Structure 1
Amino acid sequence: MRRAVITLASIVLVLVAALVVIAVNGDNSGDNKSAAAPEESTAGPTPVQTLPPDEGDYVAPAKYVALPGGAEKVGDLPVKFPHSPEGAASMAVASARNAWSFDPAEVKAGILTYASDRYRDAMAASAEDGAKGNREFAGVPGAGPIPPGATLNAWPIGVKWAAVGSNTVDVLVLLRVTSVPGEGAEPKTTLVVVPGRAVWESGDWKGDATDPKPLPDPVDIGTAKFNEDGWKAIQEGDRL
C-alpha cells in the first residue's frame, strides 16, 4: 500500500464534514464576538509526500476503542452523542466518514448536522467546493457526470483525543481513503490524519475551529508505529 501525507494549510476550520481548506479570520477565543465569515478555498487536501509500503509482520493494535453511537439520527447520520470525550470522538469519526463524497448534497448534509452554529452557514456554502475537491482528489473531473466505476470511500481506522475541558475535546481521526477514478483503473489508497475540535452545543457535540498544529504522519493499522504514536484502533461491531 502506498501512503500519502496530507497537509491542511493555514489556519484551518477543522470541521471534517467539509474537507474544504478554510482560513478562519474570526476570533476563536470563546468570547461573545461573532466569528467572521471564513474565506473559502477550492483547494482540497494535497498529497505532499508518498511513503514506501510497510514492511514486516503485522503488529496488533495495543489499544482498541468501541466508540458510542448516537442516540438519534438525522437522515443516515448519527447525532446525540454522549457528553464525554468518547462521544466527542465518535462525532468526529462520523463526520470524517461522511465527508469523503462526490455528492455536494451529502457533504452539505454533514455540515448542517455536525458544524457548530457559528460556522454552519459559511461551511454549508462551501459544500460544492468540498465535493469538487473530493473529485479532484480521486482523479475524477471536477465537473460533469461521475465516470462509471469511480468511487471514493473513507474508513476510519484510528482515533485519539485530548479533553481541553468538559465541553471541548480535540480529536485526531486516522482514515484509510480508497479511491478509483473509473472503470478499469487501479484503486489508490491514502492514509489521512484529520484534526478537529468538538464543542458541546445544544445538547450534542459539534465541529468547531481549532488552532493549527503539526499533524503526526499517517501510519497504517497493523504497524508498530501505529502503537508508538498512541492511536486507538476503532472497533465497530466485528470489524476494525
Structure 2
Amino acid sequence: MTLDLQQRAQHRMRRAVFVLAGIVLVLVGALVVIAVAGGGPDNSGAAPAPQPSVSTKPTPAQTLPPDDGNYVAPAETVKLPVGTGKAAGNLPVEFPRTPEGAAAMAVASARNAWSLDPQQIKAGIRAYASVQYRDQMAGAADAGATGNRQFAGIPTDGPLPAGSTLSAWPVGVKYAAVSTDTVDVLVLLRVTHVSRAGAEPTTTLVVSPGRAVWEGGDWKGVATDPNQPVPDPVDIGTPFFNEDKWKAIQEGDRL
C-alpha cells in the first residue's frame, strides 16, 4: 500500500479541476468527472461570475504498488454520520448540522461523482449541489461521464466494454468549520478503473477539495477558491497519511 517516496517528492503536474463540495469536476482529457468546459455563456473557463470552482491539484497519476507489508495504522479515525434520507439514485442526504455532517456529504458526493453513468452523476449533482449551481452542472453530466471514460481508458462513444468499471473509495478526510453554516472539506480517495474485461485494475490517489454550506435543511456544495492550495495525495497505511493529519474514514467494520 505504500507509495514510492521518490515519486512523492517529485513535483506533480497541476491540471484544471472543477470542484463543488466534493463533487470532482474535471476537464475532459484530464481527470474528468463533470466537464463544465464548453461553448456556453456560463463556460467556467471564461465567466467572471462565481462558477463551480476552477481549482488546480496534483494529477492523480500514481499507480499503487503491491503492499510490502509495512502498513502504518492511521493515527486518527472518524465514523461519519449517515444521512437520514435518500435522494434519487439511492444517495444519502439529510446529514446532521455538524462539521462531521458536512464532511459526510462531501464524501458521499465525491464517491458518487466517479461514475460512468451520466444519470448517476446527475443524481449526485441534484442531491449535493447548491441550488445556485445545480441546473448548470446537471446539464454537464453527460460530458462528465464522457470524461470519466477517457480517464479510465474507455472509448468515449458506444456501449461500455464488457468488464469496464470506475469506482472511488474515500479513505481519508479533513474538515474545518468556517462558521456554523460553512465547512471546508478535503476528501482523499482511491479511484480504481478497469478499461475492459481482462485488463488489470489501476488505482490512483485523488484529493478532492470542497466547501459545504447549510442550505434548505441540509449540507450542499458551493464554489471554492480556485487558488486554494491542495495537498499532494498520500495513501492510507503510510506514515505520510498520519504526518499530513488525515482522518481515516471508518465505514462499518473497515477503515
Q: Which category of TM-score, normalised to the shorter sequence, fits these structures?
A: 0.7 to 0.9
Q: Deviations over 1:183-224 (max 9, x none)?
A: 111110001000111010000000110002121111110000
Q: Measure the CA separation in 1 of the matches of 2:145 and 2:181.
A: 30
TM-score w.r.t. the length of structure 1 is 0.85
**Could you say if the C-alpha distance between residues 67 and 149 of structure 1 is closer, same or farther in structure 2, counting changes exceeding 3 Å?**
same
Are positions 1:59 and 2:66 aligned together? no
1:7–1:48 CA contact under 8 A, matched in 2:
no
Are positions 1:180 and 2:185 aligned together? no
1:158–1:232 CA contact under 8 A, matched in 2:
yes
Specify the code of the residue in structure 1 equivalent to 2:70: D
Single out whichever of 166-175 and 14-23 deviates more from structure 2: 14-23
Q: Measure the CA separation in 2 of the matches of 1:61 and 1:112.
A: 33
2:21–2:210 CA contact under 8 A, matched in 1:
yes
Paired position in structure 2 for 1:161: 175
2:61–2:205 CA contact under 8 A, matched in 1:
no
**Could you say if the C-alpha distance between residues 142 and 211 of structure 1 is closer, same or farther in structure 2, counting changes exceeding 3 Å?**
same
Structure 1 residue 50: Cα displacement: 3.7
Are positions 1:14 and 2:20 aligned together? yes
TM-score w.r.t. the length of structure 2 is 0.81
2:213–2:222 CA contact under 8 A, matched in 1:
yes
1:38–1:122 CA contact under 8 A, matched in 2:
no
Paired position in structure 1 for 2:208: 194
2:154–2:195 CA contact under 8 A, matched in 1:
yes
> How many pairs align?
227
Question: What is the SS of the residue equivalent to 2:169?
Answer: strand
1:111–1:124 CA contact under 8 A, matched in 2:
yes
Unaligned runs of 5+ in 2: 26-32, 37-43
Specify the code of the residue in structure 2 equivalent to 1:237: G
Paired position in structure 2 for 1:32: none
Q: Measure the CA separation in 1 of the matches of 2:60 and 2:109.
A: 24
CA RMSD of aligned residues (A): 2.6
Q: Deviations over 1:39-67 (max 9, x none)?
A: 99xxxx98475478476711100000000
Unaligned runs of 5+ in 1: 28-34
**Could you say if the C-alpha distance between residues 132 and 215 of structure 1 is closer, same or farther in structure 2, counting changes exceeding 3 Å?**
same
Give 1:43-192 correspondences, 5 Å limit. 47=59, 50=62, 53=65, 57-75=70-88, 76-192=90-206
Runs of 4+ that moved beyond 2 A: 1-8, 12-27, 37-40, 45-56
Q: Deviations over 1:48-97 (max 9, x none)?
A: 75478476711100000000010111131011100010000000000011
Question: What is the SS of the residue equivalent to 2:111?
Answer: helix
Question: What is the SS of the residue equivalent to 1:153?
Answer: strand
Paired position in structure 1 for 2:242: 227
**Could you say if the C-alpha distance between residues 52 and 191 of structure 1 is closer, same or farther in structure 2, counting changes exceeding 3 Å?**
closer
2:52–2:224 CA contact under 8 A, matched in 1:
no
Identity of aligned residues (%): 60
**Could you say if the C-alpha distance between residues 168 and 7 of structure 1 is closer, same or farther in structure 2, counting changes exceeding 3 Å?**
farther
Question: What is the SS of the residue equivalent to 1:9?
Answer: strand
Q: Measure the CA separation in 2 of the matches of 1:203 and 1:113.
A: 13
